[in-house]
């Protein structure tokens, strides 16, 4: 009969408080915690954002009452959970710098059209977006602004790529 070799249990590493661990590990932990909180806050939003600042824009002779989504959290929530929106209302997403901007419609109940807009108010391209889809709709080139309106609003007003918006960040024409 053979006897089993003695069971060896590795000794545990000495306890080192988080503050004594390398700075890179500490930064990684803090970044992960902040990202988790940000995602949790955005997903915890149960109702629509209705109290954002507003700006009056114009597209030719047509007036637009746009809510401003200026912070990362405001842009992440956007028009999610809205069940209705007046025809002259929309949301203007404001980014810190021009980039190719891509939007989707998770938790968004309304069919929307996104206008991707340059700094001078020129519409680069328009994209119709279906409610509650994860399809990506992107700007044709880098932009700082995206204006979402009820789907069909731009078409009914005869507004196409190349048209210019005025008011708010785009100044007066």
Task: Measure the CA–CA gap between 150 and 29, rounded to whole angstroms.
Answer: 41
Confidence (pLDDT) at 143: 98
Cβ distance 59 to 157 under 8 Å? yes
Residue 19, SS3 per DSSP: helix
Q: Are residues 150 and 102 in the same domain?
A: yes
Q: What is the CATH number of the domain that holds 114?
A: 2.60.120.1140
Cβ distance 79 to 111 under 8 Å? no
Residues of the domain holding 117: 54-170
Q: Are residues 132 and 100 in the same domain?
A: yes
Asked, for residue 104, whether it belongs to a domain, the answer is yes
Asked, for residue 9, whether it belongs to a domain, the answer is no
- Tell me the Ramachandran region of residue 162: left when phi exceeds 0, alpha when psi lies from -120 to 50, beta otherwise: left
Give the number of domains in the chain: 2
Which segments within 16-136 are labelled E, that is strand?
54-59, 62-69, 89-99, 102-103, 112-117, 123-129
Confidence (pLDDT) at 12: 52
pTM across the whole model: 0.74
Asked, for residue 11, whether it belongs to a domain, the answer is no
Whether the per-residue pLDDT at 14 is higher than 80: the answer is no
57-95 confidence digits (pLDDT tens): 999 999 999 999 999 999 999 999 999 999 999 999 999
Confidence (pLDDT) at 166: 98
Residue 31's pLDDT band (boundaries 50, 70, 90)?
very low
Residue 46's pLDDT band (boundaries 50, 70, 90)?
confident
Q: Are residues 81 and 138 in the same domain?
A: yes
Asked, for residue 10, whether it belongs to a domain, the answer is no
């Amino acid at each position: 009969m053979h006897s089993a070799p003695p069971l060896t249990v590795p000794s545990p590493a000495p306890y080192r408080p988080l503050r004594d661990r390398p700075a890179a590990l500490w930064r990684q932990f803090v970044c992960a915690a902040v990202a988790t909180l940000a995602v949790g806050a955005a997903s915890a939003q149960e109702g629509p954002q209705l109290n954002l600042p507003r700006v009056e824009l114009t597209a030719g002779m047509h007036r637009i009452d746009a809510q401003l989504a200026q912070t990362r959290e405001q842009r992440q929530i956007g028009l999610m959970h809205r069940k209705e929106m007046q025809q002259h209302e929309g949301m203007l997403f404001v980014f810190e710098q021009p980039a190719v901007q891509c939007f989707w419609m998770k938790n968004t109940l309304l069919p929307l059209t996104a206008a991707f807009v340059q700094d001078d108010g020129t519409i680069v391209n328009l994209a119709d977006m279906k409610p509650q889809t994860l399809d990506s709709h992107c700007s044709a080139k880098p932009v700082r602004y995206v204006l979402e309106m009820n789907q069909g609003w731009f078409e009914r007003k005869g507004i196409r790529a190349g048209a210019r918006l005025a008011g708010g960040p785009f100044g007066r024409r």
